[in-house]
Amino acid sequence: MDWPLQPSLLAALRAALQQSPRYAALATTLQGLILQGELLPGDRLPAERRLADQLGLSRSTVVAAYARLAEGGWVSTRQGQGSSVCAGPPGHVASRKRRVALGSPALRRLSGSEHETWIDFALATAVPDLAWLQPSAAAASLVLRESAYQPEGMLALRERIAARYSRQGLATTPDQILVCAGAQQAISLVAQQYLAPGDSVLMETPNYFGAIDVLRSCGVHLDGIAVQAQARHAPAFIAALAQSRHKLAYVCPALHNPTGLSWSQAAVERLARTAAQSSCLLLVDDSLAELHFEACPRPLPAAAGAPIVHIGSLSKTLWAGLRIGWLRAPAPIIETLRRAKANADIACSSLSAALACDLLDRYDSLLTLRRSQLQEQARHLHALLQEHLPGWHVRQPEGGLFLWAGLPAQGRDASAWVETAAALRVRLSPGPALSVGAGHERHLRLAFTQAPALAREGVLRLAASLAC
């Protein structure tokens, strides 16, 4: 296929041409695009004259750059067919793994000084209690007693997770639990094992950027059901699931990221019944469920062997730095994912697992304090926005870590606000990064986990920009 000359890639090529000799700079930059996956084996490079015209170069410069790539085995040239990326240059990205744009704000690199001075509404963070970092005597003995190489996770930790599911109404054994490095790895393991390029996936939109990024990287088609107030979109999602047109469905019924909405219990039960009769694998992300401000979390009921996978995480509920998440699934699915986990990292940190055991032993009391703190932080940021940015439409969430802000119909869109905020050393997550397909250009996701003084300063910086 012909390589798409996207504006951002042309800009990268033009920037590289500031170096001399220009043919060598062009060749090195194209080689980098092959390593990154922007160019894949079989892609045809632009004709020499066409690329020369677009970059303002002489044709001979492009010819020399292509010749340099050919000498290194990166491209091959055939008379009348132009130059194409070779099937096997060293370091090339595998076929069908073209790099896709990712929405994760975690990918932005910050220097040490920037970490100290930026106000971050893009990612939700929490400061852990220092006591959490010191395992109890019982937890320390687990580290020494249990094997460090358990792809499924430390047994003592799986026992605690399974017991919590059972107490909440979903009978679970430790063998149905797979411990992961946070919810993100859980999503990635499922996607890598069960999805192939071209498969169709059902999702709510907007949605968690981490899930969108993983699924897009698998080359699947994302079919979005628009989230509505009071979760009025639930019947449409269930109806789409019932059609069995999708290989996988990803949903957050207990507490949605980023809107902070939750489904009714009746809708959740209909979802479970539909999933049990569907050929579609249902991936239920409950990683924010324990942070609902009012409702007691109730996992999605599941019939024996139903193709339903649950995701949970201490990284979301207590501390992002503790990379402990998990999957709960029927035995055949867990075994498939256990093998994939062994290939990915063999096992999770034993020390982290031991600390997680301590935290789960007093989880209810910790969550009570955490919910109270988050609810106050949500109210504080909501009040600040109403006072200083009254044109923004923001609803109080039912729980979680984020506010979903609608921007005025006129004025800056989300991308423009991100750029403006960055100049003020404030980080924002634009709505399109959380959109399945196109949309949400006039929405922002705002984490409300900042300390009150920082949240106030961040909102004041944003409000001041309107007067500029």
Could you tell me the CATH number of the domain that includes residue 30? Answer: 1.10.10.10
The reply to whether 322 falls in a domain is yes
Residue 94 within any structural domain of the chain: no
What single letter denotes the amino acid at residue 410? Q
**Domain termination residue (choose one: 328, 362, 396):** 362
- Whether 280 is in a domain gets the answer yes
Helix, strand or coil for residue 192?
helix
Model confidence, pTM: 0.81
Residue 293 CA: distances (Å) to CA of 9, 207, 246, 341: 45, 20, 33, 33
Shared-domain flag, residues 382 and 301: no
Whether residues 190 and 169 share a domain: the answer is: yes
Q: What's the pLDDT at 136?
A: 86
Give the integer Cα–Cα distance in Å for 104 and 210: 6
Could you say which of 336, 362, 388 is where a domain stops? 362
Give me the pLDDT at residue 115, please. 54
Q: For residue 72, is it within any domain?
A: yes
CATH of the domain at 158: 3.40.640.10
Q: Are 435 and 298 in the same domain?
A: no
- What pLDDT is recorded for position 461? 96
| Whether residue 434 sits in one domain with residue 302 | no
384: helix, coil or strand? helix
Looking at residue 466, what DSSP letter applies? T
Note whether 351 and 382 are same-domain residues: no
* Measured distance CA(145)–CA(352) in Å, rounded: 15
Q: Which two tokens stand for residue 51?
A: 């690329």
371 and 279 assigned to the same domain: no
Question: At a CB cut-off of 8 Å and minimum separation 6, what does 435 contact?
Answer: 205, 206, 207, 212, 224
Residue 437 lies in a domain: yes
Same-domain pairing of 435 and 306: no
Domain that holds residue 227: 131-362
Domain boundary among 362, 388, 411: 362
What φ, ψ does residue 135 adopt, rounded to 5°? Answer: -65, 150
Please tell me whether residues 236 and 291 are part of one structural domain.
yes
For the domain that residue 405 is a member of, what is the CATH number? 3.90.1150.10
Same domain? For 256 and 321 the reply is yes
Q: 113 with 78, same domain? A: no
Separation of alpha carbons 158 and 209, rounded Å: 27
Tally the domains of the chain: 3
Note whether 112 and 136 are same-domain residues: no
Nearest by Cα to 267 from 284, 290, 279: 284
Q: pLDDT tens string for the chain (468 positions)? A: 556 666 667 777 888 888 889 999 899 888 888 877 777 788 888 888 888 988 889 999 999 999 999 888 888 887 777 888 886 655 666 655 555 666 777 666 555 555 568 899 998 877 788 888 888 888 888 887 877 788 899 999 999 999 999 999 899 999 999 999 999 999 999 999 999 988 999 999 999 999 999 999 888 999 999 999 999 999 999 999 999 899 999 999 999 999 999 999 999 999 999 988 888 999 999 999 999 998 877 777 766 667 899 999 999 999 988 899 999 998 889 999 999 999 888 888 888 999 999 999 999 999 999 999 999 999 999 999 999 999 999 999 999 999 999 999 999 999 999 999 999 999 999 999 999 988 899 999 999 999 999 999 999 999 999 876
pLDDT of amino acid 1:
53
Quote the pLDDT of residue 5. Answer: 65
Domain-located, residue 101: no
Residue 384 shares a structural domain with residue 335: no
- In sequence order, what are the residues at sequence separation of 6 or more whose Cβ sits closer than 8 angstroms to the Cβ of residue 324? 157, 179, 180, 181, 182, 313, 314, 315, 348, 352, 353, 356
Angle formed by the axes of helices 363-388 and 350-361, nearest 10°: 90
Domain-embedded: residue 161: yes
**Cis, peptide link before residue 258, omega less than 30° from 0:** yes
Which parts of 230-264 fold into alpha helices (H)? Answer: 234-242
Domain membership flag for residue 1: no
CA nearest to 401, candidates 365, 370, 440, 443: 370
Give bridge partners of residue 2 from the DSSP assignment: 44
